[in-house]
Structure 1
Amino acid sequence: MSRFNNFVGIKEKLIPNIPLYMDQVLIFFDEKLSVLKRKDDEKILTKTMINNYVKAKVIPKPIKKKYSKDQIMRLYLVYQLKNVLSIDDVKGFINILSDSDDENDPNNLSKYYNMFLEIEEKKYKEIEKKFQSNFESDDKKNREEMIELLIEFAVDSNIKKRVIEDILDR
């Protein structure tokens, strides 16, 4: 089993309805996403990272040094996307999710955030199945299958990244 087995992102209902100070945000993310750390001393988010996202206008400025539920959802999306996309593309991606054509629903972020989590959870489960089937034995065939899986994931990630960039550029 991989460390991602049964990974579930930060469900909206788990995000506090009250605004959080920076230190509370850092602790919250560290607790909820610790399974994603490659090393124990790795930081999920830092004050500098969050401040940079605010400066880049990827997330709105905190109000009275507190971060709202909306900002926490945006931070989660930034965290999940920043290793794949440039910060400008992450900003464009989040803007697409939070924009609305419906004047009665001025903010779609919650709807699309939850959609993101559903798809993410589904994809982790699909990957976990592939991952498990390739780690069942230590024979030469298994090594070949693992190398093929590594190549497949790398190529798949690269192609999908380019498609995302193309969509965002439109």
Structure 2
Amino acid sequence: MTEDDKSVFRSILDHISGMDYIKPEDLPNIDLYMDQVTTFMEDQLASTKRHEDDKILTKTMINNYAKNNLLPSPEKKRYSKDHLLMLIFIYYFKNILSITDIQKLLGPITEKYFKGEPGKDMTYVYNEVFGMENRKIDQLIKNVLKDYRFSSATFQDADEEDQEFLKRFSFICLMSFDVYIKKMIIEKMIDDISPAEDKSSKKTKEK
């Protein structure tokens, strides 16, 4: 790949390395109204946006999540810390999973841990999961670099004017295949959630 491509790629890796997750201690200690929720999420997750004018969460999105039983309804129009943690999970899931899959996955979590007792609440779940994901970034970068080097060795016999584009296309295909396989695994695991685990989402629908 060209030096420009390498520079862009290094910039992307630097961006990934610098990404951090929202720590529970960064969450407000008071319940928030809708406008405060969208502002908080926008500020905290700004680094994940592709374009500057992209929206992290909107009022319509949040209302739809509640309507589709992904998010418990607010109390007196105010959202708690547990609500914010659920919204963070939804924000990441919605990029790869359907509403139905997210509902099936988060239903048991909501049933047992939303407003749970201290030590076994949403903060407990969030800390375990995102602490693990944050530690995985180094491994992720190594794997991406490996794929980058592998794809850079492709199309050696292509026409010179096409090589750089084809190498980039090869890299994108390799990364896309990785995402595709992992998405299939995720969907299969969600499909295999037992009725006992899934009953909470059914209860939520009945409310």
Q: TM-score range by the shorter chain?
A: 0.7 to 0.9
**TM-score (normalised: structure 1):** 0.81
Structure 2: unaligned runs, 5 residues or longer: 1-10, 155-163, 193-207
Quote the residue 2:178 is aligned against. Answer: 156
Q: Distance in 1 between matches of 2:112 and 2:60?
A: 30
Taking only the aligned residue pairs, the percentage that are identical comes to 34
Structure 1: unaligned runs, 5 residues or longer: none
Q: Kindly report which structure 2 residues correspond to 1:43-122, keeping only aligned pairs within 5 A, or say none.
A: 43-100=55-112, 107-122=120-135
Structure 1 runs of 4+ aligned residues shifted over 6 Å read 103-106, 133-136
Q: CA deviation at 1:107?
A: 4.9
Given that 1:4 and 1:36 are in contact with CA atoms closer than 8 Å, whether structure 2 keeps it comes out as: no
Given that 1:16 and 1:69 are in contact with CA atoms closer than 8 Å, whether structure 2 keeps it comes out as: yes
Query: How big is each residue's C-alpha offset from its partner over 1:106-137, in whole Å with a ceiling of 9 and x where there is no partner?
Result: 9543222122212322333333344467779x
Q: Distance in 2 between matches of 1:54 and 1:106?
A: 25
Larger Rg: 2
Given that 1:99 and 1:107 are in contact with CA atoms closer than 8 Å, whether structure 2 keeps it comes out as: no
How many residues align? The count is 166
Is structure 2 residue 21 aligned with structure 1 residue 9?
Answer: yes
RMSD: 2.9
Q: Distance in 1 between matches of 2:64 and 2:105?
A: 17
Quote the residue 1:165 is aligned against. Answer: 187
Q: Kindly report which structure 2 residues correspond to 1:138-149, keeping only aligned pairs within 5 A, or say none.
A: 141=153, 146-149=168-171
* Larger RCO, structures 1/2 (Cα 8 Å, 6+ apart): 1
Q: Distance in 1 between matches of 2:106 and 2:121?
A: 10
Give the helix-richer structure, 1 or 2: 2
**TM-score (normalised: structure 2):** 0.68
Quote the residue 2:44 is aligned against. Answer: 32
